[in-house]
Amino acid sequence: MVVLRLPRQLTHPARLLPAAFVLAITVGTLVLMLPWARRGPGGTDPMTALFTATSAVCVTGLTVVDTGQYWTFAGQVVIMMLILVGGFGITALATLIVLSVAGRLGLQTRLAAQRETKTLALGDVTGVLVRVGLVMLTLQATVAAVLTARLLTAYDEPFGQAVWDGVFHAVSASNNAGFSLYLDSLARYEADPVIVLTVCAAIVVGGLGFPVLLELARGWRRPGQWSVHTRLTVWATVVLLVAGLLMMVVYEWNNPSTLGPLDTGGKVLGSVFHAVQPRTAGFRTIDIAGMRQETLFSQVILMFIGGGSAGTAGGIKVTTAAILVVLVVAEVRGNPDVTVGRRRIATETQRQAVGIALVGLVAVVAGSLVIMSTTQIPFGPAVFEATSAFGTVGLSLGFDADLPTSAQLMLVALMFVGRVGPVAAFSFFALRTTQSRFRYPQTRPLVG
């Protein structure tokens, strides 16, 4: 019997994950360049196809063309399939492929899947990945059913169009992608609580991360028994959502360019909706460019942090941010141990959090510099666009379609790094942890 084996160099998750994403983006780009994928004569130019494929696979939502008008139905189906592939995770797909053709996993690949899904049993990788797929399908089917029913009953859309709109936006929302078939995103539904709150729920659930969802499904009524990872993810998510909501209420409630013209119900819905969107989903119901500078700054912070680990969210992840906070608190208190509840955070985990945050910061700074140096976009909007791309959010101030090729390529690179970088960096750091046979003498350089 012939058994297919991957080269050892490619089975390391720090190499396998980027390689798999590059493959998916390449295939998506080539397919979207075919004449039948776009409306009008001829095929799509390579830059538009590359940007759209990267945004879809990296579940970002940034676009340089109108998704509903530029692409044919077949092209829209391709984009949705790319979102599904990116949302499920190339690591999970690669693990299932290795399982099916080889019947077993190498230790390093098992560890990668274990860390990605936060499962404890090395022998249960297949079961975990199957449950992840079932959770995703259940969430997307539920959201699609609600959206389709609402479009049929409240907006009298034709049955076929309502089903497609409901399915596409359910997949996009559940995977934190932010792609919309409407030129105004979801602004036409700004006063519809069913659509707005359903999309918000899909984004929050999809952004928690599947390890958290699986643990909550087993014991959501017993928060005292939650793992440290689940506690950090849930409570950090609550804090960030509340903070985003307060910023919207304080700065946008009477802003004539955003929430000001709406009635009280519309203002509440708009505030809730745009407190959720920086969690790495790029839908909008108001004009982002009309937001006050204070709100945009808060959105940049939320986009950089992102959502939960091992889910569809981007950013450095809420657990990374939470660990950095408790690390600083411990340092201020002079506590040698960094603790959450009655558990110490491992030194390796602290270092991984610092490393991931620094990688993200360097990426955003570099992207902002390239955008500013190749365009006339000022500092604030450049940082916003770069952070949105790195955080795989998809919110934009409206510059993307007019950016030169060099700036668009930088956004493509940021979307790629933002999606695979934190996971690949975590796998690289975790699997390279070794015990040194000796230690150098300690010294204390002046800091600060």
3-state SS string over 59-112? Answer: CCCCCCCCHHHHECHHHHHHHHHHHHHHHHCHHHHHHHHHHHHHCCCCHHHHHH
Paired sense of beta strands 339-340 and 343-344, if any: antiparallel
Distance CA 163, CA 147 (A): 8
Task: Pick the more confident residue, 91 or 253.
Answer: 253
Q: Which residues contact 298 (CB under 8 A, 6 or more apart)?
A: 243, 244, 247
Residue 19: what pLDDT? 81
> Is the pLDDT reported for residue 226 higher than 90?
no
DSSP string of 27-58, one letter each residue = HHHHHHTSGGGBSSSS---HHHHHHHHHHHHT
Confidence bin at 204 (pLDDT 50/70/90): very high
Find the mean pLDDT for residues 332-352. 85
Q: Are 49 and 29 a contacting pair, CB within 8 Å?
A: yes
Note whether 285 and 186 are within 8 A (CB): yes
Local confidence band at 340 (pLDDT 50, 70, 90 cut-offs): confident
Whether 299 shows a pLDDT value over 70: the answer reads yes
- pLDDT level of residue 420 (50, 70, 90 thresholds): confident
User: Which two three-digit tokens encode residue 193?
Assistant: 């609580």
H or E stretch covering 339: strand 339-340
pTM of the model: 0.86
Does 118 score more than 70 pLDDT? no
What pLDDT does residue 106 have? 46
pLDDT of 278-291, one tens digit each? Answer: 988 889 999 999 99
Q: What is the mean pLDDT of the chain?
A: 84
CA 271/CA 256 separation, integer angstroms: 14
Q: What share of the chain is helix, strand, coil (3-state, %, to 5)?
A: 70, 0, 30
Question: Looking at residues 343-370, what average pLDDT do you find?
Answer: 89
